Amino acid sequence: MNDKLKDRINKIISLLSYGLYERKETVALTFLSVIAGKPVFLYGPPGTAKSFIAKRISYAFKDSKYFGYLMQRFSTPEDIFGPISLEELKNDKYVRKIKGYLPDSDFAFLDEIWKSTPAILNTLLTIINERIFKNGYEEIKVPLKGLISASNETPPPNQGLEALYDRFITRLTVYPLKNRDNFEKLLENTSLNPFVEIDEKLKITTEEWNKMSEEIGKIKISKIVFNIIHAIKLSIEKFNEDNKDIPIYISDRRWQNISYLMKTAAYLNDKKEVDIYETLLLDNCLWSLEEHIEAVKKIVENAIRISYNFKNSDLENWKNDFENLKSEFENTFFNLEKTYDTENIDDKLYIAKTLNVKIDEYGNNADTIIYIPLKNMNKKGYFYPLDQGRFITKKFRCSFNESEICSVEINSATLTNGIMSDKLSKNYEFFTKFEPKFYMRKNGLKKVEKEKKDNYLILIDSLTSKMENIILDSKNNFEKTKNESKNIFISEEKINIINDIFENHIEDLESEKLNAEKLKSEIINYATI
């Protein structure tokens, strides 16, 4: 392949998509899957250009052979894999004449695939798995690059089709045109046909296709992509808990194939690793039922949003400097009083502390809350806290030991039998210690010289200027990264997800800048001596 692989692939996609309104992403993702050697399932009603797309894709490859067939319940293996050779049958050999049929083709399109018979689908599964077709005693290596199937339904349950369906890594929805202008263009363009003229220099040869698989294997997966995938897996587990009748199942093999698809997308975009843009492909790989489609889109988008991290050292340093300046300002300008988060129980103040403890003799753990009287802080001696029911409990024993650090001990019997047990012993064992959460409350103003006030104003102006630079640099870096990382297989609609995440990040930075400006206003309004 040449050095400008991304440009070459993009040109091919544009040619393949010509005249196919609202289908460019479908064409691009089908083309991607074929290069990756992964079967594609096109889901949608009849008359939505599914067979048209499949035929078009075959023209992107040099010297390709195309096979297409509309499945129905009366289809026979002869229709797909070729008729039995009568001459060979005379010699007691059960051999098919495969020329012009699927085992002899680079591309195959099987419409209404789930209407086929088990004999056909089982043979098809072997071809997908091994790229081998057993013809009599001979095993023939099938040249199949792209297998594209289509249907207006997902496979019926309990028919033994799960294994085959699992092999269709990319699953794309193809619906009738929605845009009015595109629909009118469709009515005007009645002469459109599947054939498309592609320069021979652009077409992908079999040698190149084979070479790609070697190069794709070298592509790495970035840390953020792993984080996104783990977040997706957790969300799917939660979805399955809430939707036991329609669970989303993704096998380990499927995840591995999805990973290869993302690596292929990265490679064809001239990247050395899979980044966040490739994860926008995932919603086309994770659904099995129509009921999953919207849920999966939300799961993928949410995983990307929570995993995208714009942190950089300049921003972290700025936040630390601002917090330090704010703290210094408050210490300089105000009398501060340490104040604890407390709860009022029977007109007395208590500090709540959550503990994860053993709850029964079987070793099960759970969270419980104890309430520690604030009046005991900085005092000597042991005392008993309140339990969740606001009653004194001897299952725990506490002590501040003349400090602000509370030590918590657990009764030995409770440690052994769990807090659900009523057994108590005379002995206690160390459990944990903690410093209660607090904040500094302003309690009156101090007298400050004008010189100090002016110095703080200089510092806050400097921080505001730094934040303006951080915002500007963030915008420039994002535009540069977006142009470098933007994936030609992803629609603008999906790319807008990344744009939206970035805009939210900029809003956060603007909010930080506003906090600095508010602090400046507070300093300006402060009277000096």
pLDDT in tens, 438-468: 887 777 778 878 888 899 999 999 999 999 9
Q: Answer whether residue 1 shows pLDDT above 70.
A: no
The single-letter code of the amino acid at 362 is: Y
Domain co-membership, 34 together with 167: yes
Structural domain contains residue 212 = no
- My answer on whether 158 and 174 are in the same domain is yes
Tell me which DSSP letter residue 275 carries: -
**b/e sequence 278-294, b meaning 16+ C-beta within 10 Å:** bbbbbbbbbbbeeebbe
Task: Look up residue 304 and give its amino acid.
Answer: I
Name the nearest CA neighbour of 355 among 396, 394, 391. 396
* CA distance between the termini of the chain: 75
Q: Give mean pLDDT, residues 515-521.
A: 93
- DSSP string computed for 1-49: --S-HHHHHHHHHHHHHTT-TT-HHHHHHHHHHHHHT--EEEES-TTSS
Among 84-93, 171-180, 490-499, the range scoring the smallest mean pLDDT is 84-93
**304 & 177 share domain:** no
Same domain flag for 31 and 65: yes
Q: Which of 1-5, 16-20, 250-254 has the lowest mean pLDDT?
A: 1-5
Distance between CA 472 and CA 485 in Å, rounded? Answer: 20
Task: Specify whether 250 is located in the same domain as 324.
Answer: no
**pLDDT at residue 527, rounded to an integer:** 63
**The pLDDT value given to residue 3:** 52
**Percent of the chain's residues with pLDDT above 90:** 79
Residue 472 in any domain: the answer is yes
Residues 303 and 289 reside in one and the same domain: yes
Q: What is the tens place of the pLDDT at every residue in 408-445? A: 999 999 999 999 999 999 999 999 999 999 887 777 77
Whether residues 303 and 320 fall in one domain:
no
Q: Residue 253: pLDDT band by 50, 70, 90 thresholds?
A: very high
Residues 86 and 108 in one domain: yes
Q: Is residue 150 assigned to a domain?
A: yes
Say if CB 300 and CB 283 are below 8 A apart.
Answer: yes
Domain count, the chain: 4
**What CATH number should be reported for the domain holding residue 459?**
1.10.132
Cβ atoms < 10 Å from Cβ of 230: 12
Question: Does residue 331 contact residue 524 with C-beta atoms inside 8 Å?
Answer: no
Verify that 100 and 2 share a domain, yes or no. Answer: yes
Is residue 500 pLDDT above 90, yes or no? yes
Q: Are 341 and 436 in contact (CB under 8 A)?
A: yes
**CB atoms near residue 43 (< 10 Å):** 21
Cβ(273)–Cβ(219) below 8 Å: yes
| Cα–Cα distances in angstroms (integers) from residue 467 to residues 62, 470, 479, 502, 503, in the given order | 54, 5, 18, 16, 16
| Average pLDDT, integer, range 161-177 | 95
Same domain for 327 and 267: no
Last residue of a domain, one of 200, 229, 261: 200
| Structural domain contains residue 156 | yes
Would you call 397 helix, strand, or coil by DSSP? strand
The residue segments making up the domain with residue 222 are 217-309
Around Cβ 513, how many Cβ atoms within 10 Å?
20
Give exposure, 494-507, as e/b (b: 16+ Cβ within 10 Å): beebbeebbeebee
Instruction: Please indicate, yes or no, whether residues 457 and 431 belong to a single structural domain of this protein.
Output: no
pLDDT at 2 over 80: no
Mean pLDDT of the chain: 92
Q: Between 92 and 474, where is the model more confident? A: 474
Task: Write down which residue in 169, 200, 231 finishes a domain.
Answer: 200
DSSP conformational letter for 84: B
Residue 210 domain-assigned? no
Report pLDDT digits (tens) over 323-380. 999 888 888 888 878 889 999 999 999 999 999 999 988 889 999 999 999 999 999 9
Whole-number pLDDT of residue 137: 86
**Residue 168 covered by a domain:** yes
Q: Are residues 189 and 232 in the same domain?
A: no
Q: Is residue 206 part of a domain?
A: no
Nearest to 108 by CA among 157, 68, 58: 68
Q: Residue 165: which CATH number? A: 3.40.50.300
Of the candidates 406, 436, 466, which is a domain's last residue? 436
